């Protein structure tokens, strides 16, 4: 009882030349039938009026049959098909043999093409049975014609189904591409959001430390030199933040400097830190390089917050399949802003590593703290 797909019944995806050819063929067939019908000398008076009514009724029934099958209304479709067969029978009784045969043949093909097979096969059998009885050709010619009509109906049905399947696959492919594009856009937005967070979290938290210290000094009535030192430090952090923002924008454009240079600049900005690079150096992809930079930057920020003055050792090891960053500090007394922040720094670093297929481990080590990042190269 499965209907042909709506795409198959609606003629969607049919090329313009094919539509023109189909309509031309139908117009020629209908024209020949009408010419054969109305060229009969006996079609006069009430017969002419009845013939005109019958032709109009056939046209309306055929149009309604196409619409009802498109909306998959089985009983309505069968009723309209029965009406067409009834008109064909009446035409045969009235002496219009050719129109009757054409109606039976067209109805059989339309049933095979547009109805569920459970309803199409009986309807086709009835139509072709009436055609065989009314046709006065040789039995072999009639049998060959019946077989040809059945094959024509099956071919049209299979062709329509193939077209419908192609249209559905095309729609699914377009939906998949749209979903893929949306997913890529969301991933890129998440990447940009991570870059902005990492830059601002590092720069603003450092500025906050110095500005809060300046506020405390003002409240305690400290001298001008101490206040100036804190303000100058905050200004330096603001400049660093601006430089990091520009660097992040360059990284988003694919323009990025070597990781070793960045780590050297990061160590220069820190106190008591050194960098060791081992393994055969190789260029990293933009996202992997940015992950190493941000993890090192976040780790240094945490050292300043939780262990100010601690010695920091940064080790960058280039392996065959992955690059490893190890940031270890010697520990120290927590700073006055050690409790600030919500712990999103480590979470963001771990998320960045996992998105690249790597890993991040962080925890106590001897008297200090160690952060280890591994990302594939």
pLDDT by residue (tens digit) across 66-99? 889 888 899 999 999 999 999 888 888 888 888 8
Of 76, 79, 74, 98, the residue nearest 88 (C-alpha): 98
Beta strand pairing status for 368-376 and 359-365?
antiparallel
Mean pLDDT of the region 37-58: 78
For residue range 318-371, what is the model confidence (pLDDT) as tens digits? 988 899 999 998 877 665 444 444 445 677 778 878 888 899 998 888 788 899
pLDDT at 253: 66
β-strand partners of 14: none
Q: What stretch of H or E contains 321? A: none
Mean pLDDT of the region 253-258: 65
pLDDT at 133: 87
Instruction: Please state whether the predicted TM-score (pTM) of the whole model is above 0.85.
Output: no
Higher pLDDT, 26 or 142: 142
Mean pLDDT of the region 188-198: 71
β-strand partners of 317: 278, 324
User: Which residues 6+ apart lie within 8 Å of 326 measured at CB?
Assistant: 313, 314, 315, 316, 317, 370, 371, 372, 373
Query: Which part of the chain is CATH 3.30.565.10?
Result: 257-377
User: Contacts for 31-34 with beta carbons within 8 Å, 24 or more apart?
Assistant: 33/98, 33/99, 33/102
CB 254 within 8 A of CB 288: no
Q: How far is CA 316 from CA 108, 216, 277, 278, 369, in A?
A: 79, 38, 5, 6, 17
pLDDT at 271: 59
* 3-state secondary structure at position 328: strand
| Class in CATH terms, 257-377 | alpha beta
Give alpha helix (H) positions in 115-138.
117-134
Specify the residue for token string 């280039």: 318
* Residue 123's pLDDT band (cuts 50, 70, 90): very high
């Amino acid at each position: 009882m499965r209907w042909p797909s709506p795409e198959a019944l609606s003629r969607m995806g049919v090329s313009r030349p094919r539509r023109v050819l189909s309509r031309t063929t139908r117009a020629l067939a209908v024209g020949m039938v009408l010419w054969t019908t109305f060229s009969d000398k006996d079609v006069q008076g009430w017969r002419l009026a009845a013939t005109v009514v019958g032709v109009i009724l056939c046209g309306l029934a055929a149009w309604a049959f196409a619409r009802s099958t498109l909306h998959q209304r089985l009983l309505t479709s069968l009723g309209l098909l029965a009406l067409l067969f009834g008109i064909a029978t009446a035409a045969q009784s009235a002496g219009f043999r050719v129109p009757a045969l054409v109606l039976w043949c067209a109805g059989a093909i339309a049933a095979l093409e547009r109805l569920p097979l459970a309803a199409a096969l009986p309807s086709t059998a009835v139509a072709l049975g009436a055609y065989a009885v009314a046709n006065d050709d040789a039995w072999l010619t009639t049998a060959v014609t019946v077989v040809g009509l059945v094959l024509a109906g099956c071919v049209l049905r299979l062709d329509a189904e193939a077209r419908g399947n192609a249209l559905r696959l095309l729609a699914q492919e377009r939906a998949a591409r749209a979903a893929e594009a949306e997913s890529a856009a969301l991933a890129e937005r998440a990447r940009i959001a991570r870059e902005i967070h990492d830059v601002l979290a590092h720069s603003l938290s450092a500025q906050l430390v110095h500005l809060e210290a300046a506020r405390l000094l003002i409240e305690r009535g400290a001298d001008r030199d101490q206040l100036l030192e804190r303000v100058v430090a905050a200004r330096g952090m603001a400049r660093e933040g601006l430089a990091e923002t520009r660097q992040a924008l360059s990284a988003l454009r694919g323009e990025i400097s070597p990781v070793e240079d960045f780590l050297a600049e990061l160590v220069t900005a820190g106190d008591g830190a050194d960098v060791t690079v081992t393994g055969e150096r190789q260029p990293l992809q933009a996202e992997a390089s940015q992950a190493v930079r941000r993890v090192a930057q976040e780790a240094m920020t945490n050292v300043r917050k939780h262990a100010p003055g601690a010695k920091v050792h940064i080790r960058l090891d280039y392996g065959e399949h992955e690059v490893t960053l190890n940031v270890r500090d010697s520990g120290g007394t927590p700073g006055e802003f050690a409790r600030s922040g919500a712990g999103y720094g480590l979470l963001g670093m771990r998320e960045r590593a996992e998105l690249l297929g790597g890993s991040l481990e962080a925890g106590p080590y001897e008297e200090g703290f160690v952060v280890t990042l591994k990302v594939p190269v």
